[in-house]
Amino acid sequence: MSEAIFDAISKAVTEGEEVEADRLVEQALEAGLAPLDILQKGVVHGITRAGELWKANEYFLPDVILAADAFKTAMQPLEPRLKEGTDGRRGGKYVIGVVEGDMHDLGKSLVGAMLTSAGFEVIDLGIDVPASRFIDAVKEHQPVIVGMGAYMTTTMLQMKTIISELEKQGLRRGLKIMVGGVPTSQEFADEVGADAWGKDALDSMQKALKLIGA
């Protein structure tokens, strides 16, 4: 039964069936399935498939936008359940955001949800975040980790500027930096001076825990 419902959730997200995705997630939660399994095997699977179809030129922009909307709707009942049992103190504060000029928010939101489920208190700055807001958020929240997402070759370069600015202002001490997003890589992370690169949501969560020595 659980595999069938995960497949159905995945399909609803890929096909942009917002109402159906929401209904199925609620149904899976009521059936007592683990929120993390619903996230990974259903919702993440579905949005990843939409990305693959786009890459294969089988999906066009409107299809992807519908899938993105279904993803966001499906996340709504899941997010509070992922937080259950964590008080945000186990991992500490994690500031996450998408760099300026970049409106892609699915990857960042997914990573945020996974970090929440691992016990981090996630402070989500959203999309199109100017360097100054990352700096202000570090001053205000004093997180253990800052994560930046960039999904285009044109916007990824901002990460280097933000890291340099954090260093210049003496804010890098004790602060770990993670980067992620489709054009980034371990090589890129090394080049810009980040502490870790998150390949996907699971990898990002595992590396974040490693960075804080958990």
Which residues here bind ligand B12, judged by CB under 6 A?
A: 47, 51, 54-55, 61, 64-65, 68, 96, 101-108, 110-111, 147-149, 151-154, 178, 180-183, 198, 200-201, 204
Residue 31 or 94 having the CB closest to ligand B12: 94
Residue 1 or 123 having the CB closest to ligand B12: 123
Residue 31 or 76 having the CB closest to ligand B12: 76
Residue 8 or 201 having the CB closest to ligand B12: 201
Least Å from the CB of residue 145 to ligand B12: 9
Secondary structure of the chain in HEC code, one letter for each residue:
CHHHHHHHHHHHHHCCCHHHHHHHHHHHHHCCCCHHHHHHHHHHHHHHHHHHHHHCCCCCHHHHHHHHHHHHHHHHHHHHHHHCCCCCCCCEEEEEEEECCCCCCHHHHHHHHHHHHCCEEEEECCCCECHHHHHHHHHHHCCCEEEEECCCCCCCCHHHHHHHHHHHCCCCCCCEEEEECCCCCHHHHHHHCCCEEECCHHHHHHHHHHHCCC
Least Å from the CB of residue 94 to ligand B12: 9
